[in-house]
Amino acid sequence: MTDATQSGPMLAADGTPLKKSLARSLRRRKLRALALIAPLLLFVLLSFVIPIVSMLFRSVENGIVSQTLPLTVVELQNWDAESGELPDEALYAAFAKDMVAAIDAKEHTKLGSRLNYEQTGMSSMFRQSGRKIKRLDPEADAPFKEKLIEIHDGWGDVNIWRVIKTHAVPITNGYFLNAVDMQRTPEGAQAQPEDKRILIKLFGRTLFMSLIITGSCILLAYPISYLLANLPMRVSNMLMILVLLPFWTSLLVRTSAWKVMLQQQGVINETLVWLGFVADDARLVIINNQFGTIIAMTHILLPFMILPMYSVMQTIPPTYTRAAKSMGATNWTTFWRIYFPQSIPGIGAGSILVFILAIGYYITPEIVGGTKGVFISNRIAYHISSSLNWGLAAALGTILLAVVLLLYWCYDKIVGIDNVKLG
C-alpha cells in the first residue's frame, strides 16, 4: 500500500534518495578506477593530446605579422589596399620603427620566411633590407618613404603591402587554402596558379591508392582467413605464424626487400628476362611508381586485414553451412547467401584498419614510391622537415584527420560500427 501512495523519488533505508546513495557508493569505485588509469591518462595527455592540439592550432595560427610589426598593422587598417596607391608616410614610419625593433630581436627574417610562403622573394627582401634599415634611426631619420624605397624597391610595390595587409590577421585560413591549392589574396580566396596545384591531386591519389590497397588486401586476405578459420587447429596455428612472421620483421627491412625484388635489376625482372618473358632492354618498371607503392603496402598491411577477418570467420559455426546445404543450397549459394554476409563485419573491420593506416602511411611510399607513388603524408613530412612550413603541414594533417573521421562516420552510418569486430 505504501508503494502506491509514495510519490517522488525512491528512498533508501535511511531516508536519503536512492539515487544519491547509489551515486555515493559508486563514487569510491570510480575514483579508484581513475587512480589506476591516471598514469596512462597523464602520459597520453602530455605526449599525445597536447602536441596534437597545438599542431592543429598551428594550421590557423598567424600571430607573427602582428607581433613583429605591431605599429604597422595598426596603420595598415587606415590604408585602402584597393586604391592602388602606396601607403602614406605614417605607415612607413611605423614600419621603420617596427623593423628596427624586429631587427634587434632578429625576428625580421622569420617574418620574411613566413611571408615568403605567400609571395616568393619576400624572404630575401626582408633579409637584404634588414641590414640597411638597422642603421636608420626611427626618430631622426624621418621621413622614411623615399629612404625605404631606396633601400629596396620592393617597399615601393603596392603588391607587397597588400600581401602584408592580407596576412596581418592573427588567425588565418591561409594555410588551409594553400592545402587545397588555393591562396588568400586581398580579393579573397582564389585558386593557385596552374603550375602550383599539386596538393588536391596528391590527396586524390592518396585516397585512390589507399582504396586500391584496401581492395587488394580484401581479395588476398579473404581466402587465407577462410582457410585459417576452417583448418584443424594445428595446421591453422602454423599458417598463422607464417602470416605473422612478416609482422614481426622490421618495416624498413620489408620495404627494402621489396626494393630488391622489384627494381629493374631485381629478382623479378632478372627472372622474367632469364625465362624470356621480358626483353632485356624492356625490363618492367615496377618500382618508384604507384605500382611499387601498391605492391609493397598491400604486403605490409595484409596482416591487418587477415587478423580481423580471421577472428570473425572463426565465430561462424560450420553448422550454418551444413544447415544451408541440408536445405538444398549449392556450395556457391551457401557461401554467398549464408557465409559471406556473416563475414562482412570482418571485412569491414579489416578495411577500416587498412584504409586508415594506408591513408597516413609515410615510410613505404617514401622508399618505393618514387615521385609518382608518394602520398600526402610524404608532403606533410616535407613541409615539417625541409620547407619548415609547419602551418601548411598542420593544415594538411588536419584535413587528413578530418577525411579519416568523415569516412569513419560514413562507415558507421552505412555498416554500423557495432558490427566491427577486431577480435
Question: In the bound complex, what is the minimum distance in angstroms from residue 356's beta carbon to another protein?
Answer: 26
Question: Is the sign of the CA dihedral 345, 346, 348, 352 positive or negative?
Answer: positive
- Binding-site member from 190, 230, 333, 385 for another protein (CB under 8 A): 333
Nearer to another protein, 84 or 341 (CB): 341
Please give the size of the binding site for another protein, defined by CB under 8 A. 19
Q: Does residue 304 contact residue 354 with C-beta atoms inside 8 Å?
A: yes
Near another protein by CB under 8 A: residue from 47, 330, 388, 405: 330
Nearer of residues 247 and 335 to another protein, judged by Cβ: 335
User: CA angle at residue 273 from 269 to 278, to 5 degrees?
Assistant: 90
Task: Report CA-CA distances (Å) from 66 to 95, 138, 146, 168.
Answer: 12, 19, 24, 6
Confirm or reject binding of residue 219 to another protein (CB under 8 A): no
User: Per-residue DSSP letters for 328-394?
Assistant: T--HHHIIIIIIHHHHHHHHHHHHHHHHHHHHT--HHHHHH-TTTT--HHHHHHHHHHTS--HHHHH
Q: Which of 329, 363, 404, 415 touches another protein by CB under 8 A? A: 329
Of 364, 219, 369, 363, the residue nearest 292 (C-alpha): 369
Question: Is residue 323 involved in binding another protein (CB under 8 A)?
Answer: yes
In angstroms, what is the minimal distance from the CB of 339 to another protein? 10
| Site membership for another protein, residue 337 (CB under 8 A) | yes
H/E run at residue 406: helix 390-414
Nearer to another protein, 277 or 332 (CB): 332
Is there binding between residue 341 and another protein (CB under 8 A)? yes
Q: How far is the CB of 334 from another protein (least distance, A)?
A: 8
Window contacting another protein (CB under 8 A); options: 31-39, 101-109, 173-181, 314-322: 314-322
Q: Does 325 bind another protein (CB under 8 A)?
A: yes
Question: What nine digits make up the cell of 68?
Answer: 613583429
CA dihedral 191→194→196→202, nearest 10 degrees, is: 90
Using CB under 8 A as the criterion, which residues of the chain lie in contact with another protein when the complex forms?
317, 319-320, 322-331, 333-334, 337-338, 341-342
